[in-house]
Structure 1
Amino acid sequence: MKKIVVRFLMLVAVSLFSSCEKYLDKAPDELLSLEVTFANRQYTENFLYRIYAYLPSYNFWTDLPYNGLADDTDITWNRSNYPSYDMNLGNWNPTTGLVTNLWKNYYQSFRQIAIFLDNVDKAPISTQNKTLYKAEAKFLRAYYYMNLVQLYGPVPLILDQVSFESSTFNIPRNTFDECVTQILKDLDEAATDLPLKHENIWAGKPTKGTALAMKARILLWAASPLVNGNPDLAGLVNRDGKALFPTAYNKERWQLAKAASKAVIDLGIYHLYTVLDDKGAVKPVDSYKGLFISQYANEEMIWGRNLDGGNSLVLDRHCMLRSKGGWNGVAVTQKSVDAYEMANGKAITEPGSGYVETGFSQQATTYAPKGTWNMYVGREPRFYVTVNYSGAPWWDNTKAEFFYKGKDGKEVGRDDHSRTGYLLRKFIDPVSDPIANRNRAKLFPYIRLADIYLMYAEASNELEGPTADAIGYVNKIRSRAGLPALASGLSQTEFRKKIQHERAIELASEQLRYFDLRRWKQASELKGSFEGMSVDLGASATDESFFKRTVFETRVFENKHYWWPIPQSEVDKNQAMVQNPGW
């Protein structure tokens, strides 16, 4: 038993969220009484670390569908454990496994947190560590409730162990504002006792900055159109008639979101990850790419998930070219490709952009070799970090081939092929080698400073229109990306669109786009015909038949999909529970 616990704690130090020991599959109080558990330091810490196992997975093709449900990404596989495929076609309901499992798992975590907070003071642990561990537990409770609220809307707040043990489990949903208030309470208390940094660990455990950043995120949600006086939600009430969402718009919510994001910035410990050349100029591709493959926590990451070499390789394999040992499975949509600006900062539809849709280039450019399809020539640097297109050079100067007969195409890949003719590239480490089963550890981002800058800009713009400092934070991101500053004289509406565009590009495939479009009430972006290149055509790299826009999927998004359904099993057993509209 001692060897198992020691081994677990060693794994935590390297990759905080890994827990593959069968011993840990069961709650500690099922193996040991609470009295024994909290009389032992290692068992107590083990109890806390197990609560971390409920953190969202980096595995966004099976465990969590958020990237695949957004308009910028497609997950190839139509299999029972790849939920985004069916969900994009509208084939999900209150009994769908993902819907029920996420709810169940989070409430299991709430029970364990309640037990931990009720008993940790009994443990033979220093007062300093008890304070720290309580702060971690409160942070996790706030973060898990925030995730639930973003998916299902307001949920029952169950904070104490006694309620979990009740034989009559009829607990109504709390209101949205009550949920936010509790989340903020836990985050404020956690921020007070969490350190600015953790010694001898990467970015896996929360810090003061992490708590403040999540406070900014939930307050931005509370200010957004989906929940800030949305008339579509006026009829959602508990059985006693209590309204679950605020019924009037409150501009002050933007002030709270602005202040919260500024508090993170004012810590002064986070900076945009930037690589300079020998003359002191920004290297945009190296900067943006290095942010995601940095082996250790870098100055921009506020919080992330540590991936050891094995888990890092799993991520890379799903995105990697088949010819390099990957599975060709995490694709980029044509809509996303079109969204990237040209290197001069103009949209591809804007006069003077220089965009050309057809033909092959006659000369090499900074990021694209001669013979590249012109659609991909002269684009902004982040495009070349994020999107793997047919003809894109790989690290060893071989080129991706997504046309039908190409080495990464449908004829060879069959089930394992990109349906769009593109793959996601931004998380893949150049040293990754699936064939040799080799990779190194890296950090998958949960939240980083660029996100906070854009939160601040959004809240500031909604509160008082375009201000110099709000525009300045957006321009910091664009400067790091090698793009010119925004044009002066933008209106509030124009600046809003610029911020939303910048979030779509800068934070692409970081599991945020799906949530952004919902909170902005922009569901039209999540439905309809989605295009890619013609993956059923093309015999060679110069066969132009491949480079034609082709619909690969028609997606469904109804108004009811703004909120996930409460699991039917919960509605059946909890007589006080009301279902979300449309389900």
Structure 2
Amino acid sequence: MHIYKSRISIFFLTGLLPALLLLTGCSKLIEVNRPSNTVGNDVIFKTDERAVTALMTVYAQMINYNSGISLSNGALPVFTGLMSDEYVKNSSSADEQDKMLEEFYKNVITRTNTIPDISFWNNGYEVIFSANAVIEGVAASGSPALTARTRDLLNGEAKLVRAFQHFYLANLYGDIPIVLTTDINQTRTLSRRLVSEVYQQVEKDLKDAFLLLPADYSAAGNTRYRPNKWVAAALLARLYLYEKNYPAAAEQAGLVINNGLYKLLPPANVFMINSEECLWQLEHPTRGNAAPEEVNFFTPAMQYNKVPEDYKMFFTDPEMFAYFSTSGQMIPRCPMTQALINAFETGDERKAAWTDTVPVPVAPPYNGNGYRFSHKTENINLDGTLSPSAYTVMRLAEMYLIRAEALAQQGTDLAGATADLNKIRNRAGLPDLETGSREQLLAAVAQERRVEFFGEWGHRWFDLKRTGKATETLRVITEKQPWSNDHLLLPLPQIELINNPMLKQNPGY
């Protein structure tokens, strides 16, 4: 998908398929000229039920299982985890995908690497286009059967999603086009806008969403699959933290913490469906044992602690291990780095709940040096089924750590910052920290963010960048040498530069 495509339409009939069935099954934009039997916006946005179905296609695009790994279903933790210091690339083969993973791990991404194009840029702007289509469809509808409440819900959720995608694209690429329409005449020659300008639009969309969305989850049948106003507040808190607007960040985080709808849970329960800690989750597809795409990179198919006793010999017998591990079934493609493993304090319950190990034979050449992998988003039972889980987008723990960091940065309420920090530590089974200096508290917050949010939505990569710690942290890693600060941004797709002369490539590419 390019942002200058000739036609954006997800609402049309083909043959005898009803429009609503097509919408329900659609997982990505269909970019074709409108056929003669098109069902237009005047039909789709005629009633509440039909209009909500259109909105659901936006969330389907985000989780997007039919199109592989993408921005909102696992690409962020995998590829930013490799670019930072969370994961290593363990697989070794001559296939193109493995070569592209190697480039992310070494932070030397070439212009022929299609992952930035397909998994981030294309998917991000596809979702933005779909959100814009919903906003435009609501605005164009004069149907009295499309109620005011549904109009508010659709506008609020679509603006929140649009803000969410723009935020991540700006943090991946730097200056980017701001896309607020599906009109080709406006999008085909858009230029890059400063990150500060992107953030202004993100803030505007989120403030609108906060006013339009309800305070509960009634619109989603009391599931967490559709965001409410507190998700908008949470994203505003994150935005203000990135902008170093610390008073506003603390205020917005406090709104979420104090509304009484959420609570911190034991680590083992955090990522369950409708978890009270989660603000927003994406619903897994209902077919089979679907799990986020990141599982294919982080979690081996066979896990020692979850296989029958008869299968454990595969991990202890050197010959059997050598044979079966080459299939990729027993060793994660991207295990955790030793630095991340060492970051957990003794007794941290998050390490026990969110990670596991692949034991290896004690005989040479393995010598008992196993692999540790993360499995926050997937739990395999002995019968091969998945425990109840959903793909968590935002959760309460982030609000406590945002407020702690914002208070520490201001230096006026170090006791309050410490109290928020200790909420997260106590939930993980760790003792309180004493109130220290501003610098000590900021270091403690960074440590908690590292072990709390590893493998989630690129937090570690973006934290290193926004705090100015990326270069000093990553340039000492052997595989990332020689280091260049150009590595901190991804390259824009070459096809975009060819078709739109208003776009310029990032330095170093």
State the TM-score, normalizing by the size of structure 2. Answer: 0.78
Residue 405 of structure 1 deviates from its aligned partner by 5.9
Contact 1:466 1:491 in 2 (8 A): no
RMSD across aligned positions (CA): 3.3
Structure 1 residue 575 and structure 2 residue 501: aligned?
Answer: yes
Residue 7 of structure 1 deviates from its aligned partner by 8.9
2:314 paired residue number: none
Structure 1 residue 383 and structure 2 residue 351: aligned?
Answer: yes
Alignment-mate amino acid for residue 117 of structure 1: I
Residue 88 of structure 1 deviates from its aligned partner by 1.5
In 2, Cα distance between the equivalents of 1:385 and 1:465? Answer: 35
Q: Secondary structure at the match of 1:174?
A: coil
Task: Could you tell me which runs of 5 or more consecutive residues in structure 1 were left unpaired when the two chains were aligned.
Answer: 10-18, 224-252, 274-286, 344-379, 390-399, 412-417, 531-552
1:257 paired residue number: 249
Deviation sequence 1:280-315 (CA, Å, 0-9, x none): xxxxxxx111212x2x21221111223356223876
- Where in structure 2 are the equivalents of 1:98-109 lying within 5 Å? 98-101=115-118, 102-109=120-127
* TM-aligned CA distance change 1:58 to 1:432, over 3 Å: farther
1:312 paired residue number: 291
Number of corresponding residues: 446
In 1, Cα distance between the equivalents of 2:158 and 2:445? Answer: 34
Q: Aligned match of 1:432 in 381, 389, 397?
A: 381
Contact 1:29 1:37 in 2 (8 A): no
1:53 paired residue number: 60
Deviation sequence 1:196-219 (CA, Å, 0-9, x none): 222325212111111111111122
- Where in structure 2 are the equivalents of 1:289-304 lying within 5 Å? 289-292=268-271, 294=272, 296-304=273-281
In 2, Cα distance between the equivalents of 1:91 and 1:271? Answer: 41
Stretch moving more, 253-262 or 209-218 = 253-262
* TM-aligned CA distance change 1:322 to 1:506, over 3 Å: closer
In 2, Cα distance between the equivalents of 1:53 and 1:76? Answer: 31
Residue 187 of structure 1 deviates from its aligned partner by 0.6
Structure 1 residue 506 and structure 2 residue 484: aligned?
Answer: no
Residue 95 of structure 1 deviates from its aligned partner by 4.4
Deviation sequence 1:400-450 (CA, Å, 0-9, x none): 5224669xx979xxxxxx996222244443x624xx441233122221111
In 2, Cα distance between the equivalents of 1:133 and 1:110? Answer: 14
In 2, Cα distance between the equivalents of 1:493 and 1:259? Answer: 21
* TM-aligned CA distance change 1:572 to 1:315, over 3 Å: closer
Q: Aligned match of 2:341 in 312, 322, 337?
A: 337
2:416 paired residue number: 469
Deviation sequence 1:252-274 (CA, Å, 0-9, x none): x222222222222232321111x
Contact 1:479 1:485 in 2 (8 A): yes
Contact 2:404 2:417 in 1 (8 A): yes
In 1, Cα distance between the equivalents of 2:33 and 2:217? Answer: 29
2:463 paired residue number: 516
In 1, Cα distance between the equivalents of 2:385 and 2:294? Answer: 12
* TM-aligned CA distance change 1:316 to 1:109, over 3 Å: closer
In 2, Cα distance between the equivalents of 1:112 and 1:426? Answer: 29
1:394 paired residue number: none
- Where in structure 2 are the equivalents of 1:82-101 lying within 5 Å? 83-101=100-118
Q: Aligned match of 1:493 in 434, 439, 447?
A: 439
Contact 2:82 2:104 in 1 (8 A): no
Task: Could you tell me which runs of 5 or more consecutive residues in structure 2 were left unpaired when the two chains were aligned.
Answer: 1-15, 63-69, 308-328
1:545 paired residue number: none
Residue 50 of structure 1 deviates from its aligned partner by 2.0
Residue 2 of structure 1 deviates from its aligned partner by 6.1
Contact 1:76 1:419 in 2 (8 A): no
* TM-aligned CA distance change 1:137 to 1:484, over 3 Å: same
1:421 paired residue number: 371
Residue 169 of structure 1 deviates from its aligned partner by 3.3
2:40 paired residue number: 34
More helix by share: 2
2:4 paired residue number: none
Contact 2:71 2:124 in 1 (8 A): no
* TM-aligned CA distance change 1:460 to 1:189, over 3 Å: same
Deviation sequence 1:229-276 (CA, Å, 0-9, x none): xxxxxxxxxxxxxxxxxxxxxxxx222222222222232321111xxx
Contact 1:313 1:439 in 2 (8 A): no
Alignment-mate amino acid for residue 487 of structure 2: H
Residue 148 of structure 1 deviates from its aligned partner by 0.7
In 2, Cα distance between the equivalents of 1:563 and 1:526? Answer: 14
Alignment-mate amino acid for residue 579 of structure 1: Q
Residue 99 of structure 1 deviates from its aligned partner by 1.8
1:328 paired residue number: 331
Q: Secondary structure at the match of 2:346?
A: coil
Deviation sequence 1:165-212 (CA, Å, 0-9, x none): 34x933322222221111111111111111222232521211111111
* TM-aligned CA distance change 1:421 to 1:115, over 3 Å: closer
State the TM-score, normalizing by the size of structure 1. Answer: 0.69
Contact 2:253 2:400 in 1 (8 A): yes
Report the structure number with the largest CA radius of gyration: 1
Q: Secondary structure at the match of 1:73?
A: coil
